[in-house]
RNA sequence: GCCGACGUAGCUCAGCCGGUAGAGCAGCGGUUUCGUAAACCGCCGGUCGGCAGUUCGAGUCUGCCCGUCGGCUCCA
């Protein structure tokens, strides 16, 4: 699963929170731009829209900004706010506006006016209506802008500038790069504080920091950037996930396979990967004096097709659901790598379902149900479903696209699942269903996807024999639930803040004898738990109890089981749950009761008691 | 890949205007056997990301490369 950018993009739809918040954010962006103009009279301005939780503005400046510039800009913004300037709106004809902004050397604004061409446009904050160009001004700062704004600068609430970053003009990497300042603004100080607190919470949950502290994973420069070492603790999490994944898939009629990690160039020529995806592939590996070329696999589909084609299939055998935890390698550009969330080698929980068109809708529905079960298991919530339809550049006939889109839509329709259509959002070879979910602190993540491949079955001539004894083209449904284990588990670390549910935790219980004398009892307890399949550490280190409790908490052991002479005599345990506060431990728990409780919690895959949903999205903050 | 910042011990960080590297935690060795979130003493540990250059002398200055971080672009 991929998290959407920590600093989310402009929301294109009318989803800016309410109008007042939109105006507030947008006005603050103007005030910031005005402050930048005061510091850099030669500044040129790009776009400066509101975004979720704040705003940004792009500038072309004579020198790079540093973090030290932000307080200076903030200071001037405060001065502007204190002057209580009005936001004045006026309109100009397009030629007048071009003349006006040309005179001010605002090349990007001029380009934008020319692009608008006097036509009504919905998509940009810079606006034109009925051939008139809309302008807003406060003080000396004049901007091409559709509005609306707050009435006066004094209405701007508590704000903070957050970061400086590079951004391409119009988001196109062939265009010049501008400097972007991100900021946030809120109606009240309390809301600003809450938002800043949420940013800190995000930092605390950062899987890279937790990954280091909890010895979960490591990325070593010498080994190669973007390549993840799963350390023993996280390897246990992965093993549990994989075991469960296999079990669930077998139960749902999947056939699990293994396919090789490198393959001959021939197959990637046929699949089109060399042509369409070659830039991202590792290779070629030259063998037999360079006469044979091999590539490292970037996707599992060709291998699964070969598995399917290992024999002729009758319609009676369909649907055939071929699954694999398939490890792939893709070259990603240096600047895009990010912990476990964006890597160069990863394992997909990939499956390809081969079926007839008549079966497609039902199969998609089954995948959808399975996807929802997965998300529920981990406590992800508020799933939002998107149906992404044919893009402009695509392969396959319109007739095929009609069928495929209909199968996806019908599968959702049968379940009465509300979904949104992402027009043109499909990939070039397939329409798809995307499921997006919220994590524990209200961030959106990309979840499972289901696609109907309209390319590979043709290229590989994938068929089955139908009731009439004819060869019929098979439908190929491509789906992932985790996506990649690296990204999914990286996301889980943040979602759980490192506090994994019992069934996944590498240290399910830490047994802590109070004194040496309780050691034999502690060992007996450890033995019983281990016999029941639990991962247990026995902390027989010297040191006082408080320290050993603290250490077990730091390691995020699910339970701390303290045993002393009293427990040894009574055959009980003192149970302290991870995250429990002072005096919350439970004394005198009978061994059998403890065991029963742990088994139940593990086997039901219960979410941990210290797992909480924290809802602090902008909309929630506003309504409070 | 692009823009900017950064790279000192396993981790977090100090190190002034260039003069031969320091702390806490962790680790190791002791002491302490303790009732629910930091006991005490000692020791080890660094080619200061790499390679060039400037200089009598570079962790400190310059260049190139690698990596990381914040974004952009791209994406499972």
pLDDT of residue A31: 96
Alpha carbon separation from A344 to A243, A297, A449 (Å, rounded):
24, 12, 20
Q: What is the pLDDT of residue A38?
A: 93
pLDDT of residue A128: 54
Phi/psi of residue A223, each to 5°?
A: -70, -35
Through-space separation of residue A599 CA and nucleotide B16 C1' in angstroms: 61
- What pLDDT was estimated at residue A8? 32
Name the closest residue (CA) to the C1' of nucleotide B38: A547
Nucleotide with smallest C1' distance to residue A221 CA: B67
Query: Residue A564, CA: closest nucleotide via C1'?
Result: B35
DSSP 3-state of A487: helix
Question: Is residue A133 within 8 Å of A144, Cβ to Cβ?
Answer: yes
pLDDT in tens, A213-223: 999 999 988 88
Q: What angle do CA A189, A167, A37 make, to 5 degrees?
A: 65
Residues with Cβ within 8 Å of A41's Cβ and at least 6 positions away in sequence, in order, are none
A154/B27 CA-to-C1' distance in Å: 57
- pLDDT for the residue numbered A403: 94
pLDDT in tens, A364-392: 999 999 999 999 999 998 999 999 999 98
CA A542 to C1' B40, whole Å: 13
Would you give the DSSP letter of residue A518?
Answer: G
Average pLDDT over residues A334-354: 95
Q: Are the beta carbons of A154 and A134 closer than 8 angstroms?
A: no
Q: How far is the CA of A169 from the C1' of B2 (A)?
A: 12
Does the reported pTM lie above 0.90? yes
Give mean pLDDT, residues A501-511: 97
**A171-230 pLDDT, tens per residue?**
998 999 999 999 999 999 999 999 999 999 999 999 999 999 999 999 988 889 999 999
Tokens representing A513 are: 């004898």
* Nearest nucleotide over every DNA/RNA strand to the A347 CA, judged by C1': B76
Number of residues written out for chain A: 624
pLDDT attached to residue A289: 87
Q: How confident is the model at residue A17 (pLDDT cuts 50, 70, 90)?
A: low
Confidence at A555, pLDDT banded by 50, 70, 90: very high
pLDDT at A129: 55
DSSP code for A391: -
pLDDT recorded at residue A617 = 45
ipTM above 0.90, yes or no: yes
- A56-107 tens-digit pLDDT: 999 999 888 888 889 999 999 999 999 999 999 999 888 899 999 999 999 9
| CA→C1' distance for A223 and B58 (Å) | 30
* CA–CA separation, A262 and A268 (whole Å): 11
**CA geometry: angle at A279 spanning A278 and A281, to 5°?**
60
Measured to protein CB atoms, the chain B nucleotides within 7 Å are 1-5, 11-12, 31-39, 66-76
Contact assessment for residue A489 and residue A238, using Cβ atoms and an 8 Å cutoff: yes
Mean pLDDT of A555-581: 94
Is the previous residue joined to A284 through a cis bond, with omega within 30 degrees of 0? yes
DSSP string spanning A41-87? TT-EE----EETTEEEEEEE-SS---TTHHHHHHHHHHHHHHTT-B-
Q: CA at A165, C1' at B57: how many angstroms apart?
A: 39
Tens-digit pLDDT profile for residues A43-53? 999 999 999 88
Report the catalytic residues of A: 301, 330, 348, 350, 352, 432, 478
Residue nearest to nucleotide B72 (CA to C1'): A167
Confidence of residue A9 (pLDDT cuts 50, 70, 90): very low
Q: A410: closest CA among A381, A437, A436, A431?
A: A431
Nearest nt (C1') from A224 Cα: B67
Please report which residue ranges of A288-356 form alpha helices under DSSP H. 301-308
Angle at which helices A398-414 and A357-377 cross, to 10° = 50
Using a pLDDT cut of 70, give the percent of chain A over it: 93
pLDDT in the model for residue A10: 33
- Using the CA of A65, which nucleotide's C1' is the nearest one? B4
pLDDT digits (tens, 9 = 90+) for A285-312: 998 888 899 999 999 999 999 999 999 9
β-bridge partners, A351: A323, A479
Alpha-carbon distance of A603 to A611, in angstroms, equals 17
The residue whose CA lies nearest the C1' of nucleotide B1 is A333
DSSP designation for A607: P
Mean pLDDT of chain A: 90
* DSSP class of A310: T
Query: What mean pLDDT do residues A317-322 have?
Result: 96
Q: How far is the CA of A75 from the C1' of B12 (A)?
A: 32
Confidence of residue A127 (pLDDT cuts 50, 70, 90): low
- For the CA of A538 and the C1' of B32, the distance in angstroms is 20
pLDDT of A122 > 80? The answer is no
- Nucleotide with smallest C1' distance to residue A568 CA: B35
Question: Above 80 in pLDDT, residue A420?
Answer: yes
């Amino acid at each position: 699963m991929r998290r959407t950018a920590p600093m989310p993009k402009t929301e294109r739809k009318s989803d800016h929170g309410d109008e007042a918040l939109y105006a507030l954010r947008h006005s603050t962006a103007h005030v910031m731009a005005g402050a930048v103009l005061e510091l850099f009279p030669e500044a040129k301005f790009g776009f400066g829209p509101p975004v979720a939780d704040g705003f940004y503005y792009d500038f072309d400046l004579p020198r790079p900004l540093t973090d030290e510039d932000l307080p200076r800009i903030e200071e001037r913004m405060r001065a502007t706010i204190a002057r209580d300037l009005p936001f004045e709106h006026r309109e100009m004809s397009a030629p007048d506006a071009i003349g006006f902004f040309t005179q001010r050397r605002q090349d990007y604004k001029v380009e934008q006016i020319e692009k608008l061409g006097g036509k009504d446009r919905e998509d940009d904050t810079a606006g034109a209506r009925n051939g008139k160009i809309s302008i807003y001004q406060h003080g000396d700062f004049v901007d091409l802008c559709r509005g609306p704004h707050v009435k006066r600068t004094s209405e701007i609430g508590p704000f903070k500038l957050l970061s400086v970053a590079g951004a391409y003009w119009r988001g196109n990497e062939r265009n010049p790069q501008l400097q972007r300042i991100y900021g946030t603004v809120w109606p009240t100080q309390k809301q600003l504080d809450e938002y800043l607190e949420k940013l800190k919470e995000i930092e605390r949950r950062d899987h890279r920091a937790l990954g280091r502290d909890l010895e979960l994973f490591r990325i070593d420069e010498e080994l190669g950037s973007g390549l993840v070492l799963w350390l023993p603790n996280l390897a246990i999490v992965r093993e549990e996930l994989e075991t469960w994944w296999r079990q669930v898939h077998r139960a749902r009629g999947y056939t699990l396979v293994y396919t090789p990690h490198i393959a001959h160039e021939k197959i990637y020529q046929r699949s089109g990967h060399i042509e369409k995806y070659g830039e991202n592939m590792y290779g070629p590996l030259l063998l037999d004096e360079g006469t044979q070329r091999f590539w490292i696999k970037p996707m599992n589909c060709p291998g699964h097709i070969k598995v399917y084609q290992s024999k002729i299939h009758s319609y009676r055998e369909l649907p055939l659901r071929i699954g694999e935890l398939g490890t792939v390698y893709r070259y990603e550009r240096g600047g895009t790598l990010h912990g476990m969330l964006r890597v160069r080698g990863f394992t997909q929980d990939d499956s390809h379902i081969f079926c007839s068109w008549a079966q497609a809708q039902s199969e998609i529905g089954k995948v959808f149900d399975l996807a929802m079960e997965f998300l529920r298991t981990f406590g992800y919530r508020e799933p939002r479903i998107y149906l992404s339809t044919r893009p402009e550049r695509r392969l396959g006939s319109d007739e095929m696209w009609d069928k495929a889109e209909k199968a996806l839509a019908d599968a959702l329709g049968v379940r009465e699942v509300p979904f949104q259509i992402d027009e043109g959002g499909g990939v070039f070879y397939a329409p798809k269903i995307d499921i997006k979910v919220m994590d524990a602190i209200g961030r959106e993540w990309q979840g499972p996807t289901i696609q109907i491949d309209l390319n590979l079955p043709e290229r590989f001539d994938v068929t089955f024999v139908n009731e009439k004894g004819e060869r019929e083209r098979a439908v190929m449904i491509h789906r992932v639930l985790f996506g990649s284990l690296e990204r999914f588990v990286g996301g889980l670390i943040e979602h759980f803040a490192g506090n994994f549910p019992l069934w996944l935790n590498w240290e399910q219980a830490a047994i802590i004898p109070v004194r040496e004398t309780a050691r034999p009892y502690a060992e007996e307890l450890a033995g019983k738990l281990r016999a029941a399949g639990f991962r247990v550490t026995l902390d027989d280190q010297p040191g006082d109890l408080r320290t050993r409790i603290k250490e077990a908490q730091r390691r995020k052991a699910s339970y701390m089981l303290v045993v002393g002479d009293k427990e040894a005599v009574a055959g009980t345990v003192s149970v302290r749950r991870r995250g429990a506060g002072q005096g919350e431990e439970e004394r005198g728990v009978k061994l059998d009761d403890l065991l029963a409780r742990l088994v139940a919690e593990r086997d039901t895959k219960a979410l941990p008691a210290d797992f909480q949903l924290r809802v602090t999205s902008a909309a929630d903050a506003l309504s409070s």
